[in-house]
Structure 1
Amino acid sequence: MTFSTFSKISIAALMIASTSSSATIVEFTTSQGNFKVNLHDETTPVTVANFLKYINDGDYNNTVVHRVEPEFVMQAGGFEFSGDFPLRSITTDSAIKNEPVYSNVRGTIAMAKVANNENSATSQWFVNLSDNSAGSASLDTQNGGFAVFGEIIEGMENIDTIAAIPRCNTIPMPDFTAAQCSDANFVPGTENFVTIETVIIFDATVNTAGNLAAIKNTSKTTAPEPTPPKSASGGGSIAWFSLFFTGAIALRRRFK
């Protein structure tokens, strides 16, 4: 074998190895600061591919954070503000197979889904603000376990800032007063929402998998289905938000 041939084979092998162990990094630009997520490409491939398709299609651009439960989750990826209530649902693709490989600890990103339907995730995702793996939340076990598919590697302080914004119902709404929240006829402006302006693939080539410190979900197959925590809006704690949101704003607003 010539040196040239050996070099070509080595380079090809390195390229394959790099591809197989790469972990895509995506960056969220929001009205309250940016954050980056390192995705588990290899171990949750269906979930990551689904998430990246929404990103590449631009579906997450100009959507809003529609739910915050302090010390629990920040949820987004499903709605946009088009000038009036209720928020408009974005177009979604088919639901995907659940991949509950990793534990729902603080700083992880996971898929939201419909109650009592393990394989129902489409576009909505949430960031765990606390360790929600067990206890009253038990996101590692309920509804088949919620699929963690990445970790926040930069900007978690900005997510905490969003979580601390006063809420109208469960929606974080900057510069929105209690009186405005209680007035069903008052329509807020774009500045009153936490807007996800863009989501881009920040790094799709560099091997970043070795920098992740993911915790495996080892409890899913042995723990019983828990009761959802009282702070949840139903649907296995992280249900889709459309039905709740449509009725809650129109019937009664509550500022927190």
Structure 2
Amino acid sequence: MKKFFLGSLLAAASFSSTATIVEMKTSQGIIVINLFDQDTPKTVENFLSYVDDESYNQTVIHRSLSDFVIQGGGFTFSDDFDPITTKPAIINEPVFSNVKGTIAMAKVDGDPNSATSQWFFNIVDNSVGSAQLDTQNGGFTVFGQITEASQSTLDKIAALVHCGETPVVGITAEQCASTDVTISSANLVTIQNVAVMDDDPNSAAALTVTENTLIDSNSSTDSGSSSGGGLIWLLGAFLLAVPRLKRAK
């Protein structure tokens, strides 16, 4: 399999999609996402650019943290985790709150404007409490919301056995602890395809959304400190860390 490297330049292309609704088909079920085109336009445009060039197809869910988030958009898997080609980082748009059922962009700790391809689903309300994702690192940009029916797919992924932070199938918790167990792509949650379902940018108008009222929008470009306490290291590792799994031979 061809290997991709982080930090590649944006290909010269124009992206025609202005979709509000996309369907993410995973090996554990379907997730339908309503995108907030009007309020987070740069983030949605960025996400759709990866959808348009099929970069998310055959990627894996590489991280799932109990009562926190489920993360993907960064890696394919052959005999190891291979980072996908990424595009230039985008500006932060912390308009909406990181409540349960939303999708937001992952980024590098200490750099609010560092999001590229990786995203995460909030599986609980992470706006305040110990996570404080609405204010940490300039606030994490929520750019979409899943449908109610899609929650069961996230619940199914969260309930899987985890090898470290990576959800797996066909492997027991005891096998995860063994150095003799190898991981193949069949053991990982795969995002088989992400496609546009509705290209009407106004189709999210009737959604009930939660505004991020905790952060001053003028501070979104700050590169200063976070109030995230013990989670600063965790969120800072979102973009860069690779799951610790034994390589398949």
In 1, the alpha carbon distance for the partners of 2:26 and 2:62 equals 13
Q: Report 1:194-209 matches (<5 A).
A: 194-205=189-200, 207-209=202-204
1:86-114 deviations in Å (ceiling 9; x for gaps) = x1111100000000000000000000000
Going from structure 1 to structure 2, the CA distance change for 1:115 and 1:238 (only over 3 Å counts) comes to closer
Q: Report 1:1-256 matches (<5 A).
A: 24-82=20-78, 84-85=79-80, 87-153=81-147, 154-205=149-200, 207-221=202-216, 225-229=226-230, 232=231, 234-235=233-234, 237=235, 239-245=237-243, 248-249=244-245
In 2, the alpha carbon distance for the partners of 1:211 and 1:36 equals 16
SS at 2:125 equivalent:
coil
Q: Tell me the residue number matched to 2:13.
A: none
Going from structure 1 to structure 2, the CA distance change for 1:80 and 1:184 (only over 3 Å counts) comes to farther
Residue 155 of structure 1, CA deviation: 1.0
In 1, the alpha carbon distance for the partners of 2:179 and 2:87 equals 32
Residue 228 of structure 1, CA deviation: 3.8
Between the two proteins, what is the percent identity of the paired residues?
47
Length-normalised TM-score, structure 1: 0.81
SS at 2:245 equivalent:
helix
Is the CA contact (8 Å cut-off) linking 2:63 and 2:72 kept in structure 1? Answer: yes
Residue 183 of structure 1, CA deviation: 3.3
Length-normalised TM-score, structure 2: 0.83
Q: Which amino acid aligns with 1:176?
A: I
In 1, the alpha carbon distance for the partners of 2:190 and 2:161 equals 15
Q: Which amino acid aligns with 2:164?
A: N
In 1, the alpha carbon distance for the partners of 2:187 and 2:236 equals 23
1:216-249 deviations in Å (ceiling 9; x for gaps) = 10101399832345xx5825x263343343xx33
Q: Which amino acid aligns with 1:147?
A: T
SS at 2:241 equivalent:
helix
Q: Which amino acid aligns with 2:97?
A: S
In 1, the alpha carbon distance for the partners of 2:128 and 2:232 equals 18
Larger of the two Rg values belongs to structure? 1
In 2, the alpha carbon distance for the partners of 1:241 and 1:185 equals 28
1:9-34 deviations in Å (ceiling 9; x for gaps) = xxxxxxxxxxxxx8610000000000
Q: Which amino acid aligns with 1:28?
A: M
Is the CA contact (8 Å cut-off) linking 1:23 and 1:40 kept in structure 2? Answer: no
Is the CA contact (8 Å cut-off) linking 2:66 and 2:158 kept in structure 1? Answer: yes
Going from structure 1 to structure 2, the CA distance change for 1:244 and 1:59 (only over 3 Å counts) comes to closer
Q: Which amino acid aligns with 2:233?
A: G
Q: Which amino acid aligns with 2:195?
A: I
Q: How many residues align?
A: 223
Normalized per residue, the structure richer in helix is 1
Is the CA contact (8 Å cut-off) linking 2:107 and 2:239 kept in structure 1? Answer: no
How large is the Cα RMSD of the aligned pairs?
A: 2.3
